[in-house]
Amino acid sequence: MNARGGDDDDTLIAAALGGENAAFSALMARHKAPLYRFVRRYVGDADEAFDLVQETFVASWSALASFERGRSFPVWLRRIALNKCRDWSRRRHVRKFFFGARPLETAAGIMPAPAADDAAPEARLAALDAAIAALPATLKEPLLLTVFEQMSQAEAAELLGVSAKAVETRVYRAKQRLRVALKDIA
């Protein structure tokens, strides 16, 4: 079987499980960009996001045999990525506690601010990224999954292990917090 980018996920998974490395490479190529965007929004750091996406694909390769056919492969990948992001967040908090590391949110005060005319859209985007990264995980995760990853509330609820109503409420609260955090940004 020759795995091509045009094959569906189930076909590529079957080929990868059959030992065809190109099939898993095609899966990675197909899902890398959206997975990176999800992780980048979660952690708020491009380099860390790149590393976490790599860890996600390594973990997914190891667990591919346990993937349940008929389920959504992108949702399964995001579940793995979400766990990697949560692990990263815990390690970051432990490191901060023991070593007094400065959180990523304070990095903006270290570097000189760009000229207002040159970087207004970039500054707004950076402020949004920082505000999303600063949200507690219980609000950030449903927001990222439903708004940015365009999952339904039911899909996000299944992935997070909560009710669809809980997802709806948490997204609402996350949006409220973002409005407050970004109110001074034009």
CA distances from 44 to 19, 126, 168 (A): 36, 9, 23
Residuewise pLDDT in 10s, the chain (186 residues): 444 556 789 999 999 999 898 999 999 999 999 999 999 988 888 899 999 999 999 999 999 999 988 888 999 999 999 999 998 888 776 655 555 555 555 544 444 444 444 556 777 778 888 888 889 999 999 998 988 888 899 989 988 999 999 999 999 999 999 889 888 775
Q: Looking at residue 162, what is its pLDDT?
A: 93
pTM, two decimals, is 0.65
Domain ranges of the chain: 1-101, 112-186
DSSP 103: P
pLDDT at residue 112, rounded to an integer: 46
Looking at residue 3, its pLDDT comes to 42
Class of domain 112-186: mainly alpha
User: Quick one: pLDDT at residue 129?
Assistant: 83
Q: What is the pLDDT of residue 35?
A: 94
Q: Does domain 1-101 have CATH number 3.40.50.720?
A: no
Q: In the chain, how long is the greatest CA-to-CA distance?
A: 56
What pLDDT, on a 0 to 100 scale, did the predictor assign at position 1? Answer: 43
Give exposure, 108-147, as e/b (b: 16+ Cβ within 10 Å): eeeeeeeeeeeeeeebeeebbbbbbbebeeebbbbbbbbe
* The pLDDT of residue 76: 93
